[in-house]
Structure 1
Amino acid sequence: MSCVKYLLFSFNLLFAITGLIILIVGAKSEINAHPYVDLTDESFYTSAPVILIIVGLIVFVVAFFGCCGAVKENHCMIVTFSAFLLIIFIAELAIGIAGYMKHKDLETSLMRSLNDSIKHYSNDTSIQHNFDIIQTDLQCCGINGPADWKNNSLPIPSTCCAGQELVENTPVTCTETSPTLHKKGCLDEILTHLKPLSLLLGGVGVGIAFVQLLGVIFACCLARSIRSQYETV
């Protein structure tokens, strides 16, 4: 039991570190995903980073229960630790699996959402704002190229032309013959940003979940040892 106790205590130090990793990954994903996720119809990319941030904060509380329970050999605290850890394991495993699944469907979903959004560019300020940010930051134009605007009976936005958004505080006209027109479409550029994000969420979720599963096993062994010792006494 003494061996298991110190293994569990050491594990909780590692557990606290994994909590920090989860928190950082969640926060980084939340920052990097916007405004690209606003033009998709996948709720996974908005909810998964938030869930990871919450899980990362909870991990510190759970690690406290684990450390105190291991040092004091408190059966109740160790059982509480095991229960929390099991819930977190399930949540992270679900995020990890979803991340890999969404990675495969991302291009189809994004294409469908962008085609629906571009039609409302002229009358929806939020869609207009997101498209303008993406076209400026990623130096792209339209979905597959500048022709997408013409196909939807819309003028090419000024943000499709690099460095020419304003001239004397007046929006410039961006055309297919403009020398600074972005030639590449935004679909591939957004996929370049979001696909690694889904893989990162998936890898962190599955990888750390199995590390934490070891904590559940150690905690259960220690709790059983403590209970057996009390029954013997």
Structure 2
Amino acid sequence: MYQERGHRLFQMPHYKYQGAQVSCVYKYVLFTLNIIFWIAGAGLLAITFWAWNEKGVLKIQSISELNGFDPVWVILVVGVLTFILGFTGCIGALRENICLLKFFSIIIGTIFTLELAAGILAFVFQDWVKEHVQNFIRDNISVYRNDIDLQNLVDAVQKYMQCCGAAGPNDWDNNIYFNCSAENVSRERCGVPFSCCLPDPAQNVVNTQCGYDIRTKTKNKVEDSLVIYTKGCVQAFEDWLPRNIYIVAGAFLVIAFLQMFSIYLARSLISDIEALKAGWRY
């Protein structure tokens, strides 16, 4: 009897809760997913500053003076969003912080809604989107030589899509080095970049001069089609999309699933944490 009372006397007090628990599965799955995105975001930010440093435009005033579309901005925006979301989701799950988890789920939900709205609007207003995409490509063709990242992006798109220009090779008249005007003294006058040229299986080394003089008045369209791509990149994309619709749809479904799954995990954790706090007692 005495031993039993002594045991009760020295028993340490502790907190109890009424049945509610935070799911460890949800918590650490969300933590694992977001720590991967957090590291990926940090990597994208590192790539951004490395690319700008290589171009010598690391100063803010120099960055603002860039002409045309700089692909590094896309990496920067994606990197910042990924880093912030990875940080809030990771710390929110690990520390069971309701504010961070709510911020995480709201931002993911907003991004998902914007993606869905953009897809619907692009489908409904196809002609408007096509026109603006063509103008966007032409504007960046005009500054093709001004930014090495933009130049590499244009070349990669033209080689992969097997196209030339926005609507066709003559879009390269918008560039001061490739236009056919009499005032142009460039050796690339009335030509196109090498990425417009059809690959020659007999050549192991890329011929960067294959597009020289290809658009001169003495050339006809039949001959051009045997040397360069004559289809515009917008039309090439329209032809490419139906052939790869399952790949594109699958990619969008995977992205949508990850977003919705992340929101589900975050909201489930919030519910568990709120239920646990409501049931605390001594």
TM-score of Structure 1 vs Structure 2, range by shorter chain: 0.5 to 0.7
Cα 1:118–1:203, aligned 2, differ >3 Å: closer, same or farther?
farther
Q: How does 1:12-161 map to 2 (within 5 A)?
A: 12-19=27-34, 22=37, 39=69, 47-48=77-78, 50-66=80-96, 81-104=97-120, 108=129, 109-121=132-144, 124-126=146-148, 127-149=150-172, 153=179, 155-161=191-197
- Residue 214 of structure 1 deviates from its aligned partner by 1.6
SS at match of 2:192: coil
Query: Aligned to 2:270, which of 216, 228, 233?
Result: 216
Is the aligned partner of 1:162 residue 2:198?
A: yes
In structure 1, the residue matched to 2:25 is 10
Name the aligned partner's letter for residue 120 of structure 1: V
In structure 1, the residue matched to 2:228 is 181
Identity of aligned residues (%): 19
Tell whether the 8 Å contact from 2:93 to 2:269 is kept in structure 1 after alignment. no
Tell whether the 8 Å contact from 1:98 to 1:202 is kept in structure 2 after alignment. no
Tell whether the 8 Å contact from 2:159 to 2:196 is kept in structure 1 after alignment. yes
- Residue 99 of structure 1 deviates from its aligned partner by 1.9
Of 146-155 and 212-221, more deviation after overlay is shown by 146-155
Instruction: Give the Cα separation in 1 of the matches to 2:254 and 2:89.
Output: 19
Instruction: Give the Cα separation in 1 of the matches to 2:19 and 2:170.
Output: 68
- Residue 207 of structure 1 deviates from its aligned partner by 4.1
Instruction: Give the Cα separation in 2 of the matches to 1:25 and 1:65.
Output: 21
- Residue 3 of structure 1 deviates from its aligned partner by 4.2
Tell whether the 8 Å contact from 1:140 to 1:189 is kept in structure 2 after alignment. no
Tell whether the 8 Å contact from 1:39 to 1:114 is kept in structure 2 after alignment. no
Name the aligned partner's letter for residue 9 of structure 1: C
Q: What TM-score do you get using the length of structure 1 for normalisation?
A: 0.64
Name stretches of at least 5 consecutive residues in structure 2 with no aligned partner. Answer: 1-16, 48-67, 180-189, 215-220
Is the aligned partner of 1:205 residue 2:259?
A: yes
- Residue 86 of structure 1 deviates from its aligned partner by 0.7
SS at match of 2:23: helix
Instruction: Give the Cα separation in 2 of the matches to 1:23 and 1:92.
Output: 14
Instruction: Give the Cα separation in 2 of the matches to 1:157 and 1:185.
Output: 14
Tell whether the 8 Å contact from 1:146 to 1:156 is kept in structure 2 after alignment. yes
- Residue 115 of structure 1 deviates from its aligned partner by 2.8
Cα 1:10–1:181, aligned 2, differ >3 Å: closer, same or farther?
same
SS at match of 1:99: helix
- Residue 52 of structure 1 deviates from its aligned partner by 2.3
As a proportion of its length, which structure holds more helix? 1
Name stretches of at least 5 consecutive residues in structure 1 with no aligned partner. Answer: 32-37, 67-80
Instruction: Give the Cα separation in 2 of the matches to 1:62 and 1:168.
Output: 51
Rg comparison, structure with higher value:
2
In structure 2, the residue matched to 1:71 is none
SS at match of 1:171: coil
